[in-house]
Chain A
C-alpha cells in the first residue's frame, strides 16, 4: 500500500484525536494520570472500535448479508450470558476468566446463529437480519431473566451501555487480544473474500470452507467477548462502519479491512470525546453517542437513495 495524502491525513486525524482524548479530563496532567488512565482509555477506544468494526464486516461476510452485526447475531448477547454465568458461579474470578467464559459462550451463540441462518430460504434475504435480531433478543431476554432472578440487573446495566470511564491501566490490556484477532482476520482476508462467494465456489477454488469459516467465527466471538467484558455493548459499530466503507471503497477486503478498522477506531474515539465534552465534567457513554450518530448516518444512507433491486 502506497503512502499518499489520504493515508497522511488519516494518521494525522488519529493523532489529533488521540491528543485531544489524552488531554481531556478534570485531573491535572501528570505522568501518572497519563500512564494510568488517559492513555489506556484512548487506546481502548481505538482498539475496541477497530476490532468491532472488523468483526462486523466478518460476520456480514459469513452470513452473506450486509444488515447484520455481532449485536444482531447473538454474539454479543451470548458473551453477556458468559460473563453472567462466570459472575454467578465464580464471583471472584479474574477479568481474564470472565473473558474466557464470554468468548466460549459467544462462540456457541454465533455457531447457533449460523446454523439457524443456513436453514432459511435463500430467496428471502430480509429474514436473516430479522431472525438474527429475534435470536439475539431471545438470548438477551434469557440474560435479563437470569440477572433479575440473581439480583444482578444493576450489574447488567453496566455492560449495557458501552463506556470507557472505568478503563484504567491493568483493566484494558486484554483488548489487545481483540486487536490480534482482527489482525488474523486481515491476514486471511483473501480467504474470507472467497468464502463470501458461497460454499460451492469456495470448495471449487480449493479452499477448506469449514476451516476459513472457523477463523471468521472465532474472530467475531473473541472480539465480542473481550469488548463486552472490558467496555460493554457498543451498538452499531459493526453495522455502520463496514456499510459506509463498502459504499465508498467497494468490497475488496484486502483493501477495505484496514479502512474499516481505522474508521471504527476513529469513530469510537470521537464518540468518547464528545461524550466527555457534552456535559463536562460528567460523562455520557460513548455507546450512547455512537448509537445516535451511527443510527442517523445509517438512516441517511438507507433513505437517501432507494436500495438496488
Chain B
C-alpha cells in the first residue's frame, strides 16, 4: 500500500516540476529553461533535505515536535559562517571559491552540532519541555552572537559576504548546487542502507539497546547526517523554520507503517513538492515579489496551529 502513496507523490512532484519549467515559456527558451531547471533543482534539493533531516531528528530525539530548525541548527550554521568571515576577514573570503567556504563552514558545523546536540539529547531524564525551550533559546543565542559579530565586521567586508550569507532561491551558483546534490544523494543512500537501524532507534533507547543496537553511537552517526543536510539547505537558501514541521506532520499522517524507508521517501518528496508548488504559485500565479520562505512560515505555522488545536498532533 505504501508504494501507492509514494508513487502518487512522485507523480505530483513530476507534474509540478513540469508546470514550473514550462509555464509561460516564451522568448529565449534555452536560456529560460536552464535558469528554471537550476532553480527547480535547488527547490527539490532544499525541500528534500529539510524534510529528511526533520524525520531523522524526530526519530533520534523520540518525539514529533522538535525539528532541526526549531532546535537552532540553521542559526548555528549562520553563526559559524559569520565566525568564518570574522576570523579570516572579508577579503580572503572574497578570494576563496564558494565551495571552500561552504566546506569549511560545514566541517565546523558537523563537529559543533554533533557535540552540542548529542550533549543535549543525552541528558537522561530530560523532558521534552526543557529540551524544546533549550533549543529555542540556543537559536536566539546563536542569532544574537551572529548579529553581534556582524556589527564588529568592517562594513565593506560585510557587504562582500552579505550576498553569500543571505542567498535566495534565485541566486544559487551551479557548482555549489552540484556539490549539494551529490552530498544529498550520498546522505540518502546511507540513510536507506540503514533504514532498519532507524526503525530500531525509533523504539526508544532501552528497547534499542536490548535489541543489541548501540544507541549513543548511532545517534551521533545520524546527527552527523542531519547536520550535513541542514548545512546544505541553509547554505543554498537560508533558514526556513517551519517547513520541516509541516512536512513531518503530514508524513506521519500519510505513511501507513512506521518504517523509515517509507518515512524518509515520503518526507523527501513532500518537502520538494511543497517548495516547488509554493514557488510556482508565488512566481507565476500571484506574481509577488516577496520571498517564498516568508509565506512558508505563515502557512506552515498556521497549519501547525490548526493541527495542535484539533488535537491531531501528539
Smallest CB–CB gap between B140 and chain A, Å?
A: 5
Query: Does A247 make an interface contact (CB < 8 A)?
Result: no
A284 to chain B: which residues have CB within 8 Å? 148, 151-152
- The answer to the question of B208 belonging to the interface, with a C-beta cut-off of 8 Å to chain A, is no
Closest residue of chain A to B141 (Cβ to Cβ) is A295
Per-residue CB proximity of A271-292 to B under 8 Å, as 1/0?
0000000010010110011011
CB-based nearest B residue for A71: B140
Q: Check B24 for interface membership: any CB of A closer than 8 A.
A: no
A149 contacts partner chain B, Cβ-Cβ < 8 Å: yes
* With known contacts A129-B132, A307-B127, A292–B295 Cβ distance under 8 A: no
Query: In the complex, which residues of chain A have a beta carbon less than 8 angstroms from the beta carbon of B298?
Result: 138, 141-142, 145
Which of A120-128, A164-172, A173-181, A186-194 touches B?
Answer: A120-128
User: Within residues 130 to 164 of chain A, which ones have a CB less than 8 A from any CB in chain B?
Assistant: 130-131, 133-135, 137-138, 140-142, 144-145, 148-149, 161
User: A279 touches which one: B136, B151, B297 (CB < 8 A)?
Assistant: B151
Task: From the candidates B132, B147, B290, name the one contacting A145 in the complex (CB within 8 A).
Answer: B290
**Residues 126-157 of chain B: 1 if any A CB is under 8 Å from the residue's CB, otherwise 0?**
11111011101110110111011001100000
Most buried by B among A134, A279, A296: A134
Is B1 engaged at the interface, CB distance under 8 Å to the other chain?
no
User: When the two chains form their complex, are residues A236 and B290 in contact, meaning their CB atoms are under 8 A apart?
Assistant: no
Quick one: CB contact mask for B104-140 with A, threshold 8 Å, 1 for yes? 0000000000000000000101111110111011101
> Which chain A residues in 252-283 approach chain B with CB under 8 Å?
279, 282
Judge whether B134 and A303 touch: CB under 8 Å. Answer: yes
Taking residues whose C-beta sits less than 8 angstroms from the other chain, chain A's interface range is 35 or more
Q: A138-B301, A279-B152, A288-B148 are in contact. Are A144 and B294 (CB under 8 A)?
A: yes
Interface of B is mostly: helix
Q: Are the CB atoms of B144 and A148 closer together than 8 Å?
A: no
> Which residues of A are found within 8 Å of B143, using beta-carbon distances?
291
**Cβ contact within 8 Å between B151 and A130:** no
**8 pairs, A vs B, C-beta closer than 8 Å:** A67-B129, A134-B304, A137-B241, A141-B301, A149-B289, A292-B148, A295-B140, A303-B134
Residues of A within 8 A of B (CB): 67, 116, 119-121, 125-127, 129-131, 133-135, 137-138, 140-142, 144-145, 148-149, 161, 235-236, 279, 282, 284-285, 288-289, 291-292, 295-296, 298-299, 302-303, 306-307
